[in-house]
Chains A and B, each alone.
Chain A
Amino acid sequence: MDITFDHVSYTYQPGTPFAGAGLRDVSTTIRGGEYTAIIGHTGSGKSTLLQHLNALLKPTEGTVTIGDRVITPTTNNKHLRPLRQQVGMVFQFPESQLFESTVQRDIAFGPENFGMGKDEAAQLAADTAKLVGLPDDVLGRSPFDLSGGQMRRVAIAGVLAMQPSVLVLDEPTAGLDPAGRRDLMALFAQLHREQGLTIVLVTHQMDDVADFAEHVLVMDGGALVKEGTPREIFADAEWLQAHSLALPTTTRMAGELTERGFHFDRVPLTLAELADGLAPQLGGSLDE
């Protein structure tokens, strides 16, 4: 399912002194099955863009096409529910959306809203909890008794249980410890690989962008200023710096090594690529 933006602009509180531009003339396509990362510094319009992906916000100008639904400024707010199921949205700090008496019921809440029977939803909740790595004994407990990291998993499970075909993640690992971050990012990568889930990730972690993303959108001041593969985006360090963005650790390391006389045929993005580029130059072999 493709999501296409056609000259989309969004203004907050139009017609008042409080009016502020959220998006300016954004045109792009997020292709089905692709892993897209959206980067940009705080206030660049990333979250506003995200909320257009399942019509929580409607454009003030232009159209958004989600699958076969066309969202225009005049689209009626009713009948958007099927859309919300197809595009699962994990907001920043999603643990603040938990409210049910038990973890199982909270995860089943989404599927039940979309018309699934109670028993089926409960079974699905148990399966999804396992998928996101929650231990079996938390299902009957209150979500408010859990640790922050576990609450985050419950919230994410609640979205995954709706079985969306697009998963939108707004800084899903913010405030987690390194192990929790790694586990979650690996889970998303696995869902993308095995179930062909379309993933849209907003993040400030350039390492995650380099490791996982296939397509990168760069936002600045509400406008889409650049898009391409991570390799294209990270090739120009000065341009990134001008837009208050950083390089992934590996690319930065490669840059420093280049200054000291090493040479890379193409910019290394992941640790493995960096090692492959370095090994021959240090006189080692590639399979060591």
Chain B
Amino acid sequence: MLLGRYIPGNSPVHQLDPRTKLLGCFYYIGIVFLANNWITYALLFVLTLGLLPLARVRLGFFLRGLRAIMFLILFTVLLQLFFTTGGHVWWQWGWLTVTSKGVLNAVYILCRLVLIIFASTLLTLTTQPLGLADAVESILKPLKKIHVPVTELALMLSIALRFVPTLMDQTTKTMNAQRARGVDFGSGGPIKQLKSIVPLFIPLFVSAFSMADDLATAMEARGFRGGDGRTRYRALAYHRGDVVAAILLVAVTVVLIVLRTH
């Protein structure tokens, strides 16, 4: 599973400000819906695949990592294909129909999903989770005016992200320990499988509680008194690459709008 993972690197895409990448990714997903004909989709595909060498990710590796999501995409595409009505009817069997409009819709949905998944996978592949947390905090800052606890949310987000690998390690360790005591994970009927989860979950929750306790104590001991009045160590700054990315996105939008009505 590739979505949500980070691969360390030093490519031009890695070096972009995380805010640029996060906002850019959302914006890109927005403009994907502008595309409505072959030329516009072709343009978007060229652009997305062009980002891969720029981020120094091999296409084969990328595609293999996305295999897990392919089922979901296929399911959606098949639904579109068989249940869209209207247009020229090519094939019919009971309530399943394949129409010209259905085929077109299915292909468009396929393109959109692939583009969106490519873009968001590229985002997480090239951006450190903590960078994303910083970006979220920075982007949400205006919401402070309406009393949304942005700093607290960002703190929870960065702590959560920091502890994902730790908890994963803990899970593997506990699983192995219980396996060594004769638990068979993933075998037997549903009830037996559910039961085998108990020796895994209780130790995990207990260790999460004690980790939280230790962390809170350690934070207080180091003078943490809440988000107000803190300075930051990881300061975000826009560079030339971010301007280039922004200009590129605006240019793509303009071209898309022109080609779409063409």
User: Which of B136-144, B200-208, B225-233 lies at the binding interface?
Assistant: B200-208
Q: Assess whether B87 is interfacial by the CB under 8 Å rule.
A: no
User: Which of A20-28, A95-103, A210-218, A255-263 lies at the binding interface?
Assistant: A95-103
Q: Which one of B177, B187, B202 has the greatest number of beta carbons of chain A within 10 Å?
A: B177
Contact A81 B184 (CB under 8 A): yes
Contact B174 A96 (CB under 8 A): yes
Chain A interface size band reads 20 to 34
Q: Which of B61, B176, B198 is the one whose CB lies under 8 Å from A99?
A: B198
Q: Which one of A56, A78, A85 has the greatest number of beta carbons of chain B within 10 Å?
A: A56
Given A97-B177, A109-B181, A158-B181: A78 in contact with B187 (beta carbons within 8 A): yes
Instruction: Determine the distance from Cα of A253 to Cα of B177 in the docked complex, in whole angstroms.
Output: 39
Q: Which of A18, A51, A110 is the one whose CB lies under 8 Å from B176?
A: A51
Contact B178 A97 (CB under 8 A): yes
Contact A89 B177 (CB under 8 A): yes
Contact A113 B176 (CB under 8 A): no
**A-B CB pair tally, cutoff 8 Å:** 61
Given A96-B203, A98-B203, A99-B199: A84 in contact with B179 (beta carbons within 8 A): yes
Contact B202 A99 (CB under 8 A): yes
Closest-by-CB residue of A relative to B175 is A56
Instruction: Determine the distance from Cα of A178 to Cα of B239 in the docked complex, in whole angstroms.
Output: 56
Contact B182 A110 (CB under 8 A): yes
Q: Assess whether A54 is interfacial by the CB under 8 Å rule.
A: yes
Instruction: Determine the distance from Cα of A114 to Cα of B180 in the docked complex, in whole angstroms.
Output: 11
B191-221 CB mask vs A (1 if < 8 Å, else 0) is 0000000110011001100000000000000
Contact B174 A113 (CB under 8 A): no
Contact A17 B61 (CB under 8 A): yes
Count of interface residues, chain B, beta-carbon cutoff 8 Å: 21
Instruction: Determine the distance from Cα of A114 to Cα of B181 in the docked complex, in whole angstroms.
Output: 8
Q: Which one of B173, B176, B182, B207 has the greatest number of beta carbons of chain A within 10 Å?
A: B182
Taking the closest CB of chain A, its distance from the CB of B255, in whole angstroms, is 34
Instruction: Determine the distance from Cα of A78 to Cα of B182 in the docked complex, in whole angstroms.
Output: 12
| Across-interface contacts of B198 in A (CB, < 8 A) | 99
Q: Which of A56, A89, A96, A113 is the one whose CB lies under 8 Å from B170?
A: A96
Closest-by-CB residue of A relative to B186 is A77
Q: Which residues between 10 and 54 of chain A lie within 8 Å of chain B, taking CB atoms?
A: 16-18, 51, 54
Q: Assess whether B7 is interfacial by the CB under 8 Å rule.
A: yes
| Across-interface contacts of A92 in B (CB, < 8 A) | 173
Q: Which of B173, B179, B187 is the one whose CB lies under 8 Å from A96?
A: B173
Contact B176 A91 (CB under 8 A): yes
Q: Which residues between 230 and 283 of chain A lie within 8 Å of chain B, taking CB atoms?
A: none
Instruction: Determine the distance from Cα of A209 to Cα of B103 in the docked complex, in whole angstroms.
Output: 71
**Which 9 residue pairs are nearest across A and B when measured between Cβ atoms?**
A113-B182, A99-B202, A89-B180, A97-B177, A110-B181, A91-B177, A99-B199, A56-B176, A114-B182
Please list 26 pairs of residues, one from A and one from B, whose beta carbons are closer than 8 Å in the complex, sorted by A's number: A16-B61, A17-B61, A18-B7, A56-B176, A56-B179, A81-B182, A81-B184, A84-B179, A84-B182, A85-B182, A88-B180, A89-B180, A91-B180, A96-B203, A96-B206, A97-B177, A97-B199, A97-B203, A98-B203, A99-B198, A99-B203, A109-B181, A113-B181, A113-B182, A158-B181, A159-B181
Residues of B at the A interface (CB closer than 8 Å) are 7, 61, 170, 173-174, 176-184, 187, 198-199, 202-203, 206-207
